[in-house]
Structure formats: C-alpha cells, structure tokens
Amino acid sequence: MVSIIGGGPIGCYAGFNLAKHHDVKIYEEDKEIGKPVQCTGIVTNNIPRQIYSEDYIINKISEAEIISPNKNSIVVDLRNNNLVLDRHKFDNFIAEKAKENGAKIFFNKKLTGLNKNELRFNDLTTTDDFIIGADGPFSKTAKESGLFRKRIFLAGKQARIKGNFNSERMKIYLGIGSFSGVVPESNKIARVVSINYKNINEDFNRLLKLEKGEIIEKQGGMIPLYNPKLKISGGNVFLAGDAATQVKATTFGGIIPGLIAAEEFSKGFNNYETRVNKKIRKELLLNLMIRKKLDGFNDKKYNELVELFSQEKLRTIIGNYDRDFPSKFVMRLLLKEPRLLKFIP
C-alpha cells in the first residue's frame, strides 16, 4: 500500500503510475486540486504521452526572444513548440488519470508528522508501507524523514496582464533577476514572471515597465534550487518533484523533470533513486552549474552573450534541442563557438 503526500502534478502522476499495481492513496492539504496556481505554466513538449492532452494546453509557442540589458535581442525558432498550460486543468487532468487507475484522493489532509510507517494528518492517523513525498518545495515528508537537509529557495512573482502580445513568441529578459520572462496565453493576455533569490519586487517592477499592460491577476510562489547532494529516498520514503528539488536551475521549470522522476514509479520502488539519477541528475546538475555561472554575470556579460548568439549557427542549435536536456547541446555550442567557453561552466 502506498501513501502519496501532495496532489500536485507530480504526486498525481506518481499515483497514476503506481495505482496500476498498488493500492494508492493521495493526501492533499487543500480542498481541491490545482489551486492556487503558482506557476507560469510553460513547458517543452516532453509531457509523457499517457497524460498528454490538448484540453489543458491554451497556447503553443514557436519562438523565443532573448533580450539583453542593452535591448539587443535575438529570436530563436523552436523546432518543437513549447506549450502553455492551464495549470488548474493540467493538474486536474492528471488527478483524474490517477483515479481512473484506481488511486483514491483525500482532501483537507495536511501531513503533520511521520514516523516510519505512521502518518499523522490534521485529523487522521494512519499507517502505510511506502510513502511518497510530492508535497512541494517545503516538503513536510522530507523534513519528517530526515531527507530535507540544506535547501536554497528563490521567490517567483508573476501576473497575468492584458495588452498586445505576439501569441507565438515568449520573451526572456536577461539581467532582470535570476530569470524574467513573458509567456503569452494569446495576443491579448500574457503571464509575466520574475524569479530571484531576493528583492523580487524590484525585478518584477522593472519587468512591468518593459511589458506594459493591465494586471488582471497576481500570483507567486517559492522555487527550490536543485541540490545534487540530497538523497531522495530513505527507508520506505521516496521524494519526487519540488520536494526533491527537481527543478531546472536555468529557467526554474520543474514540471518536466518532476514528471520524469514520477514516471520511474511505474517500475516500482527498487532502485528508484538510482534510476531517477540516471535519467535527470546530469541534466539538473548542468543546469545548476550554468545557474552558478549566470549568478555572477553583470549587464556587460549578458550583452556579450546575446551578441555571440546573434550567429545563426548557434541560434539553430538552441532552437533544435529541448532545454530539459542541455547535455545534448552544450558541447555542440562550444564546438561551433569556442568563445562561449568563458560563459559555460
């Protein structure tokens, strides 16, 4: 029997995979799935086919504009469209799939304590054989099982704004916070987001000056920085998603890496950590190394970087590969342009 803590996309996808062979219970602290939304909802098209649906995709992005502090910009054609998700629908879609496979979801159940097989919730104490922590960045499961260790967090602030946008193009502003971007839902509505370790309001206000529009909704949340030293399993406890810090440290996308990890539960619990590491550790580590390099950049460095990427041969490489797997293209970039060595770890 398996208890999954957290009914986010990763917990529900873990439930979907495990419920084929196990009795699965998903415990969610909120009263419904997918609210509040704390995510910009842009992903590559690497959503597992078993949970892919056009129903939750509200836009497809075919270009990325990368803008330097001196307002120079390059446009990258994305060979594979990026997808803009309705996160509420996306989360609920996966939850329904988990239920179809037999998983049971319980609401208003906040994990407050964990001792080996005993789980304590706000209004329930129960026991189970296997426990999965998919309870987000501040995972109580990780804390209670000694897997939390030291973690670094970034704050994300975002808004949906009304204005005029190119619906096929997302924008990335280099030099504003750790990450700032604009993701259009349509040519009238876009999501603007800034992410940084601190002073997030400053970054966000700078971004809003560049991307003018009427704010129709404000959102935000915390993002864990990938920690390669973490153990993501111990005894009968297994972590996945934000609870395991499985977030790309370049763009702070956590949905695809988390889903890749959760898919490993389809093969059961044996060697879960080894299998997950084999699939995503190298990529997350490379993202982290790039992040550490970027953290030391000033405006001049970003301007130089965009200048280098004005070369079509480099733009083609980054447009042809998904950012989920940087190891597939970083070497190719370096071979084409050795001057990138000083920008890439």
Which residues have C-beta within 8 Å of that of residue 133, sequence separation ≥ 6? 5, 6, 139, 140, 141, 142, 145, 147, 237, 238, 239, 240, 243, 244
Q: What are phi and psi of 108, to 5 degrees?
A: 55, 35
Total count of residues recorded for the chain = 345
Q: Does 193 bind ligand FAD (CB under 6 A)?
A: yes
- Type of residue found at 20: K
Nearest to 330, CA basis, from 321, 303, 171: 321
Binding ligand FAD (rule: CB under 6 A), the pick from 18, 19, 24, 42 is 42
Q: Does 15 bind ligand FAD (CB under 6 A)?
A: no
Number of H helices, E strands in the chain: 10, 17
Binding ligand FAD (rule: CB under 6 A), the pick from 86, 242, 273, 283 is 242
Residues 228, 229, 233, CA angle at the centre, nearest 5°? 100
Which of the stretches 62-70, 72-80, 100-108, 236-244 binds ligand FAD when contact is defined by CB under 6 A?
236-244
Q: Does 221 bind ligand FAD (CB under 6 A)?
A: yes
Q: Does 254 bind ligand FAD (CB under 6 A)?
A: yes
Q: Does 200 bind ligand FAD (CB under 6 A)?
A: no
Q: Does 247 bind ligand FAD (CB under 6 A)?
A: yes
Q: Does 69 bind ligand FAD (CB under 6 A)?
A: no
Nearer residue to ligand FAD within complex by CB, 314 or 318: 318
Tell how strand 118-121 and strand 124-127 pair up. antiparallel
Residues 71, 76, 40, CA angle at the centre, nearest 5°? 80
Nearer residue to ligand FAD within complex by CB, 59 or 303: 59
Contact between 100 and 94 under an 8 Å Cβ cutoff? The reply is no
Q: Does 133 bind ligand FAD (CB under 6 A)?
A: no
Closest separation in Å from C-beta 194 to ligand FAD? 9
For residues 2 and 277, give the distance between their C-alpha atoms in angstroms, rounded to a whole number.
Answer: 22
Binding ligand FAD (rule: CB under 6 A), the pick from 3, 17, 40, 227 is 40
For residues 271 and 231, give the distance between their C-alpha atoms in angstroms, rounded to a whole number.
Answer: 12
Nearer residue to ligand FAD within complex by CB, 144 or 314: 144
Q: Does 126 bind ligand FAD (CB under 6 A)?
A: no
Determine the size of the site formed for ligand FAD (CB under 6 A): 39
Q: Does 48 bind ligand FAD (CB under 6 A)?
A: no
Nearer residue to ligand FAD within complex by CB, 189 or 255: 255
Which of the stretches 4-12, 207-215, 277-285, 303-311 binds ligand FAD when contact is defined by CB under 6 A?
4-12
Q: Does 176 bind ligand FAD (CB under 6 A)?
A: no
Binding ligand FAD (rule: CB under 6 A), the pick from 95, 142, 156, 324 is 156
| 145 bridge partner residues | none
DSSP string, 1-48: -EEEE--SHHHHHHHHHHTTTS-EEEE-SSSSTT-S-----EE-S---
Give the binding site for ligand FAD (CB under 6 A). 5-11, 27-30, 38-43, 109-111, 134-136, 140, 156, 158, 193, 220-221, 223, 241-243, 247, 252-255, 258
